[in-house]
Structure 1
Amino acid sequence: MLHAHLSEQRWPPASLTKLMTTYLALQAIESGRLTPQSPVRMSARANAQPFNTMNYSEGHQIPLDTALRLLLVKSANDVAVAVAETVGGSFDAFVADMNATAARIGMTETQFANPNGLHEARHYSTARDMGVLAMAIWTDFPQYGPLFSLPSLTLEGQTMKNFNPLLDGFPGADGMKTGYVCESGYNLVGSAVRDGRRVVTVVLGATSEAERAEVAQALTAEALGARPAQPVGAQSVQPDPVNLRPYVCGGQVMPGALSGF
């Protein structure tokens, strides 16, 4: 670990959650239970998801590999639920698999309540845990790396741009996901490779897209500069997950700093 600040603080992950949804889908493909062409069907529950959606009709089907691209580029909340139901057999079974997998790979302060990251009080993670998940993806599924570095996706005549600012001109950047809800602020898990060395950067709680981009790019550049690791001491964290809604969406002045890893 090269740098950490409040890395053990529980935080709403928002759409960073979709990294775990993707991890479980890739696991199902690699085990042979599903294939990239397995149909993902839009259910009534999927169609009921708010905000960032594809608005497919109930019963509409898309291939799993297309669904994963929509998760990682468009960050479609309805598609995330449809993928969960396809991979897990049901919404609840999939969420149970998410939490079991989180425990198995060492995400010690994470609890998932849904596959898309829409805010719930019992849905949280930490910067450290998101770093653990990112490295698990690169370790277990390196052959799927191109999924996480797509700068855009064109589907049915619609072009969707990836929200990840690292992919927009940062040398060596190859992933991974952004997230945002009022309660979390602007989150990011980024990755980049230089001279065969990979670093993962996690930023939680930026107050704007610009701040998220600035902090992520600065931390990633410093890490890739191969500077010596900095001592990481114990940091005071609160037991409950952070809730930034009053500051990010309510106009109050932010009292503290970002969480990062």
Structure 2
Amino acid sequence: MMGGIYGEGIIGHKGAFSREWVQQLHEDILILYEAALQRPGGAVGRGPKRHYVEIHPENIRGFVDLVTHPWVTTVCEAVLGPEYKIVEIGFDVPNPGAMNQPWHRDFPAPDDTIIGRRLNSLAFNLTTVDVFEDMGPFEIAPSTQWDLPVEFEHGMFPPKSFYPRYEERAQRKMPQMGDISARSALTIHRGTANHSDKSRPALVLGVDAPGGINHERHDLQVTRAFFEKLPESVKQHLTFRLVDTLEPIVQAHTIEGLMMGEA
């Protein structure tokens, strides 16, 4: 696990969840997506025909199943240490007509990584549909989490002159329902063009090591009633705001450079 994350920057586990469990998650995401599209600022654009929606843990069935899955907890402990914190949950939806995103990181590399050669965050991704070549699969350039952000716009977007290097390394990921991956969000990646007539929703779970600051970009809320029902092992790994009633999330992590897309 450490070798994979510190090496290529991504690892995966096939068949971690049943197809029935994923179908239930898919149903929940479709409802949340429709509601977010109707709410001002509810869905953040990540390129043409592509959105990201941050959600509340209790709005999906199976949240506890996800964050207590042995593979998920073992990866978190191995890479981030035993005091890791869950800081984000949401989903991406590349719809039909979505274009290639620019190659990018999800946020600028912290000093922990640039100077200390340490990765202090992980992003888990779980598709809710079987992914095929024409559906705009996720594409990643392995081992680029260590690239220094020289000439990177906003520390996240490498210049187009760097693209040939990424394209030489590029791996397209076509997971099936039930598969889950973990990656460093600093590894250079992009969503590709969706030429199909299907959307490709994918759940995102963000986790930090102690000292990580990604919680500042998110607003993970938990109601008191939901909190009381959570296992102690989950409570100790959540960074959250305790509320009586869930409030609409105002997305604080917009990525302006993704809005144009590429042909």
* TM-score for the superposition, normalised by structure 1: 0.30
More helix by share: 1
Query: Which of the pair has the greater relative contact order for Cα pairs under 8 Å at 6+ separation?
Result: 2
